[in-house]
Structure 1
Amino acid sequence: MPDARPTSLVLRLTPPAALPFVQLARLDRPIGWQLLLAPCWQSVALAGVASRSGPNVAHLALFLIGAIAMRGAGSTYNDILDRKLDAGVERTRGRPLPSGRVSVRAAAIFLVFQALVGLAVLLCFNRFAIVLSLGSLAIVAVYPLMKRVTAWPQAVLGLAFSWGALVGWAALYGDLSAPAYLLYASAFCWTIGYDTIYALQDARDDAVVGIKSTARLFGAKVRFGVGLFYFGAALFAEAALLAGGGRFIAQIGLCCYCLHLVWQLRRVEGATPQGAGDLFRSNWNAGLILFVGFALDGWTTRFLF
């Protein structure tokens, strides 16, 4: 695949017969599950800040498994619906379904398997977190259709990919409060920003086949558009941190997160498709920086105060 890493350990270890399914689940491109995981881990860490106990390690592990499974399921579902559109885009026409390497029936069975893994993880949480998580399925179901009808499919993705910011908090407390809502708003803005950068890779082909995106909507003002949402991400993250009782270390993490977003903005305008892809993938580092700041704040508060 054009946007995969040819040196990926996953690709080297995968038997040829299983390769199309690895590509369906995007296991050779971990950035998807990493970006899905980031708000989950940030929320678990923020809950640990508020409780003065640090992040729950078992919850971090469960969210890791769940993010990999559900991102794979979401990607498979998206490819089933988009197989005809993907055939018209240079970067995606080699995917397993439009290239004919996997049948729709086989992809559907694989989708169910991944969803069951996600369900098994979900059942490890409390009832409120389970019900809350199920509420995201409606958004996930309609997301692949949005690029056909609105220039804001990135906003719908933001609603879905940020959901973990709510569930991570609910997994510890069994309810929702201001820090969780504010972190969700931060992750929502962040997702719109980085997915706009992602969409820059396909803007030319998207115009030909009729796919809408914020990258096409912003056009020459893409830096301003992404910057506006990155500013919202930083602002809401600060509000979440203050509402959750964060201390100095978390503030340092947030400052480093903001610097990373600024670094992206300095490079986004006029970026080549390869450059846009690299900037997009760098957001795992940004999300991880924010998580580490929250986590260290919670752990140091637990052991030193």
Structure 2
Amino acid sequence: MSDPIHAGPAPGADAPLPDALSGHWVDRRATRPFLKLARIERPIGWWLLLLPCWWSAGLAAIAAGRPYPDPWHCLLFLIGAVLMRGAGCTFNDIIDRKLDAEVARTRGRPLPSGQVTARAAAFFMVGLSLAGLAVLLQFNRFTVLLGIASLGIVAIYPFMKRITNMPQFVLGLAFSWGALLGWSAVFGRLDAPAYLAYAAAIAWTVGYDTIYAMQDIEDDVIAGIKSSARYFGDHTREAVALCFALAALFSASAIWLVGGGVFAWLGFAAFATHLGWQVSRIEGASAAEALRLFRSNEYAGLLLAGGLALDTIARGLFA
């Protein structure tokens, strides 16, 4: 097999990737390969990175008696999620470029298809990382150090699919880090609700990324890529149900500890119901259905974040 770094564009390299949104503005830009490296045309990734930040910001606002989650913090988390998701995906693609060439869903990505060189991708990753650091530096010192500490987990994640059957757990450790940052940005420390939110987000991530991995089982077997979907096999539905049950348990515990009110519990109920609906659709799901279920987690997470935010707003209005 030729080296995908130096090979010319693969057949169909200009076609949209199977899990990308069709007709996205990225496809009309000269910088398209780099925007695709950052997954700009697949916003679900930065949503899933952002939402634990917003959960934690909502919990912190309730605990601190604030009338709403800090808007500036929430905006910084949004910008940071887009930038760091892009940097993380670029790093992942540099490491996985040869494996990606062997999987139907990923062989059209910019690196394995020859649209971008590894060197150019590395410069792009550094640029995104520096922009992300500029965002992180807007927070208190504890949060800055806490954010930097996450880089170790991010660095090892791409290698996990080669050595463990549960790379999704390591992804959860990285993708859920914002559940710690949202709390520390308010209090300058970590407390039990933040750890519970982090645990909830980890369990949620393992669950939804197992659903995502269901798309690639056949190709993963050929390429020797490990995943939780392969590991759980015929028990995938039960495993995802357990992950989602733990996510519900930990998030409910965090809400209880901060003294969440009616809207917080309504948001939790909507979140838990959505997770239950996903579990009911897993059995026998096609690749297209698995992708749809995975993407729906944007709405699941927003339901919880919205409930927490509304709870603080309601307290401010009726205090």
TM-score band, normalised by shorter chain: over 0.9
- Give unmatched runs, 5+ long, in structure 2: 1-16
Q: Distance in 2 between matches of 1:244 and 1:86?
A: 44
Determine the structure 2 residue equivalent to 1:211: 225
Q: Does 1:253 align with 2:264?
A: no
Query: What amino acid is aligned across from residue 191 of structure 2 in structure 1?
Result: S
Q: Distance in 1 between matches of 2:57 and 2:317?
A: 18
Q: Distance in 2 between matches of 1:248 and 1:22?
A: 41
Runs of 4+ with >3 A deviation:
none
Determine the structure 2 residue equivalent to 1:7: 23
Q: Distance in 2 between matches of 1:100 and 1:291?
A: 40
Query: What amino acid is aligned across from residue 121 of structure 2 in structure 1?
Result: A
Q: Distance in 2 between matches of 1:178 and 1:4?
A: 37
Query: What is the CA-CA distance between 1:248 and the residue it aligns to?
Result: 1.1
Q: Distance in 1 between matches of 2:267 and 2:65?
A: 17
Determine the structure 2 residue equivalent to 1:48: 61
Q: Does 1:153 align with 2:167?
A: yes
CA contact (8 A) 2:26 2:36 kept: no
Determine the structure 1 residue equivalent to 2:236: 222
Aligned length: 302
**1:106-255 maps to which residues of 2 (within 5 A)?**
106-255=120-269
Determine the structure 2 residue equivalent to 1:96: 110
SS of equivalent residue, structure 1 residue 148: helix
**1:8-47 maps to which residues of 2 (within 5 A)?**
8=24, 10-12=25-27, 14-15=28-29, 17-47=30-60
Q: TM-score, normalised by structure 2?
A: 0.94
Identity %: 56
Q: Distance in 1 between matches of 2:272 and 2:301?
A: 10
Query: What is the CA-CA distance between 1:193 and the residue it aligns to?
Result: 0.2
Query: What is the CA-CA distance between 1:303 and the residue it aligns to?
Result: 2.3
Query: What is the CA-CA distance between 1:72 and the residue it aligns to?
Result: 0.2
Q: Distance in 2 between matches of 1:234 and 1:115?
A: 32
Deviation track 1:162-209 (CA, whole Å, cap 9, x = no partner) reads 100000000011001011011101001000000000000101100110
SS of equivalent residue, structure 1 residue 90: coil
Determine the structure 2 residue equivalent to 1:73: 87
Query: What amino acid is aligned across from residue 274 of structure 2 in structure 1?
Result: H
Query: What is the CA-CA distance between 1:117 and the residue it aligns to?
Result: 1.0
Deviation track 1:2-30 (CA, whole Å, cap 9, x = no partner) reads 1111122x335x42x31100110000000
Query: What amino acid is aligned across from residue 157 of structure 2 in structure 1?
Result: Y
CA contact (8 A) 2:263 2:310 kept: yes
Query: What is the CA-CA distance between 1:295 and the residue it aligns to?
Result: 0.4
Q: Distance in 1 between matches of 2:154 and 2:313?
A: 34
CA contact (8 A) 2:44 2:298 kept: yes
Deviation track 1:245-293 (CA, whole Å, cap 9, x = no partner) reads 1011100110000000011001011111111001000000000000000
Q: Distance in 2 between matches of 1:103 and 1:131?
A: 32
Q: Distance in 2 between matches of 1:186 and 1:301?
A: 25
Q: Distance in 1 between matches of 2:313 and 2:55?
A: 14
Q: Distance in 1 between matches of 2:301 and 2:316?
A: 23
CA contact (8 A) 2:54 2:74 kept: yes
